Amino acid sequence: MNNSLYTTIPPELEYPATLLSPEEEIMDFASTYINDEDVLEIFDDEPIYKVRNYVAHTFITGLNTQVNSIELRGEWGLEVPKKDTDFIIKVLNIAGITYDVKEAKYRNIYGHWTHKSFDLIVIDDNNFRVLARKLRNEIVIVGDDH
């Protein structure tokens, strides 16, 4: 009978020489594999259109209202109903985001004014990233149903 296919691990190789307590194992794993800077770099490398859509979606689900991330007249921002502009401005002030509020109305191809009841809150890309990070980690938006 040939036992060459069957091997056993000697007891000295089966377990590491020094055993760690469960708390020490967790700390060892965290120090080896988890790095907060790497996690922040992931968010910084995320494409800007995903960041803008995430911010708009967060306000949509929290406020149950229509908020869009749009480009209007060469500036990116959030298109917000005028009745909800004050609340979103308060959230931006809490987050420390610089913004500019403008009219979102424009003339369509037929010459009619559209989006008269909306405001455009202009936010630059860096502030979009900061706002997205704060909405993920620090700020929770809870609105009432209209």
Q: What is the pLDDT of residue 121?
A: 92
Residue 20 lies in a domain: no
- Per the structure, the complete domain to which residue 72 belongs is given by 38-137
Does pTM surpass 0.85?
Answer: no
Tens of pLDDT along the chain (146 residues) come to 555 555 666 656 655 556 777 777 777 776 766 555 554 454 556 788 888 888 888 888 877 888 888 888 888 999 999 898 898 898 889 888 899 999 888 888 888 888 888 899 999 988 888 888 888 887 766 665 44
Residue 78 lies in a domain: yes
Residue 5 lies in a domain: no
Residue 57 lies in a domain: yes
Q: What is the pLDDT of residue 123?
A: 92
The count of structural domains within the chain is 1
CATH code of the domain in which 78 resides: 3.30.70
Can you state the percent helix, strand and coil of the chain, rounding each to 5?
A: 45, 15, 35
Q: What is the pLDDT of residue 113?
A: 83
